[in-house]
Amino acid sequence: MSVVVNIEASRIAFTAAEGRHVAELELVIYASDAKERLLGESRHKIDLKLKDENYQRYLREGIPFDVTMRAAQPPKYVKVIVYDYAADLLGSAIVKLK
């Protein structure tokens, strides 16, 4: 299955390094059935090293991230968790699929 995520960037704790805006995020995606039993999981480390024009665009539009993952059967729920190490900030969203 394909999961398309758009991460809100305004609360991410970017730092400056070598003329770029830098952040490190952890992204976890869970797929589950109607009884919320786990069908699949996908983990990703996102290292952002953005030039100013991409940084400004991501602040306006969010950070796009696409994942293709396997699930034992078509899921009923998808949960996305994003953790920002520098800000010690956690965000999540759950989508119920039809």
pLDDT of amino acid 70: 86
Report the C-alpha gap between 88 and 92 in whole angstroms. 14
Q: Which CATH number is 69's domain given?
A: 2.60.40
Q: What is the pLDDT of residue 72?
A: 77
Instruction: Show pLDDT as tens, one digit a residue, over the chain (98 residues).
Output: 899 999 999 999 999 999 999 999 999 999 999 999 999 999 999 999 999 999 999 999 999 999 999 887 999 999 999 999 999 999 999 999 98
Residue 73 domain boundaries = 2-96
pTM for the structure as a whole: 0.89
pLDDT of residue 71: 81
Domain count, the chain: 1
> Considering just the CA atoms, what is the radius of gyration of the chain in Å?
15
